Amino acid sequence: MKIYNQPDESFYKEFEERRAGSKRDVTSIVEGIIDDVRQNSDEALLRLTQKFDGVDLSVVGIETECKPVDIGELDGVIRRAATNIKEFHEKEIEQSWQMEREGLKLGVKITPMERVGVYVPGGSASLPSSVLMNVIPAKVAGVKEIIMCTPPDKNGNIPEVIMQAAYIAGVDRIFKIGGAQAVAAMAYGTESVPQVDKITGPGNAFVATAKRCVFGKCGIDMIAGPSEILIVADDTANPAYVAADMLSQAEHDPMAASVLITTSKKLAEETQKQLEIQLDELSRKEIAEKSLEDYGAIILVKDMSQAMEICNFIAAEHLELCVENPEELLNEVKNAGAVFLGNYSPEPMGDYYCGTNHILPTGGSAKFSSPLGVWDFLKRTSVINYNKDAFMRDALDAADFAASEKLTAHENSIRIRLK
């Protein structure tokens, strides 16, 4: 783990270089997969799924019915989490609006998208939470049809917990495909998979790159990178809690970044000890250990002012303020995907249960983007309605403006109505 003691100006360049090291360029591979799906449709999906997942979709089928399955007591947990997520996102609903100005009516018409596609990762961990976080905001927005793509297991099945989460959240159709080929199928459509207006959801470097490549053909939520947590702590923080929260992100991916900024040398030392102790208890120890070794950091600073300067520079996906008065420090936060206040607001509560969305900007993109929300599934259309008197009042100014840009057809469109 990298230790920065009272970082100077060189820190910023070095940190950006470390962050850039977590980006894997797989563009050429992904572009080939996308072209294959565009040209060969379902045949490509069958062949690529056999190649990457070892599953013959011609036998088990590309699509599976979204129906309830028995997952025992976990069903109640998922339903309660879904209720919390729905309640939170209902606060984000936007309404159409109109204003009037002397014979002129202006407004915005809010319209939900017709069909969206949700990508849910497979691999080493089933993530029913990602199903809820993607689907529920779309349902609240009023999207008419939601399809989900997720890779099958070696037997050609979707994990039961994913199936039940999809049923609870309200998915309409489920397709057993993953990776860049799933993104391509949703973006361009195949014989089996319908074309969507927008694709959301996390994934590995292949999925993220595929989303970037198809943007323009359809919308995407964001290009997500490896997971991140940044903890700002003073000497009131509990080092066991801090270490546990750093590891909660480190276990995601060897390229995940877990960073502690603190004014307390004692806390830094005790957190390091706790990391060593708690690592041995993890089921994904090797992943977390590699993450801490390559992308973990502890930054010792002189005061909270310096801590927040660095915090806003990093613009982390998850930010925890484990300080004596976290509400006061919140006012200093400019760039973060989600902020967790105090010692009893650990990041996983946002991942699973409290109701906020866990699909968040990464890699510094919190400087210009936001968490996934209802707004991601709504379109805003401007509405303009002049009566004749109002048009006559504004027409000469608008015509002069068009003339100044030497767009004579624009100018004529206005002046012809003045004759």
Nearest one of 379, 398, 409, 396 to 96, comparing CA atoms = 379
Rounded-to-integer distance, Cα 25 and Cα 23, Å: 6
| 415 C-beta neighbours (distance < 10 Å), count | 16
The active-site residue out of 89, 252, 318, 358 is 318
Locus of tokens 């391509």? 184
**Residue 145 annotated as catalytic:** no
Nearest one of 261, 395, 239, 237 to 323, comparing CA atoms = 237
Query: Three-class SS of residue 341?
Result: strand
34-54 burial: b if 16+ Cβ within 10 Å, else e: bebbbeebbebbbebbeebbe
Rounded-to-integer distance, Cα 390 and Cα 102, Å: 7
What distance lies between CA 66 and its chain's CA centroid? Answer: 24
Quick check: 121 and 203 in contact, CB under 8 A? yes
Helix-, strand-, coil-residue percentages of the chain, each rounded to 5: 50, 15, 35
Tokens of 147: 């399809």
Q: How many residues does the chain have?
A: 419
H helices present in 215-325, as ranges: 239-250, 265-279, 285-295, 304-314
Rounded-to-integer distance, Cα 245 and Cα 231, Å: 8
The active-site residue out of 228, 251, 289, 317 is 317
Nearest one of 93, 173, 175 to 137, comparing CA atoms = 93
* Pairing between β-strand 198-200 and β-strand 2-5 as defined by DSSP bridges: unpaired
Rounded-to-integer distance, Cα 218 and Cα 215, Å: 5
> Using CA atoms in the order 155, 156, 159, 164, what is the torsion angle rounded to 10 degrees?
-140
**Residue 410 annotated as catalytic:** no
Q: Which long-range contacts (CB under 8 A, 24 or more apart) does 405-408 make?
A: none
- As annotated, the active-site residues are 317-318
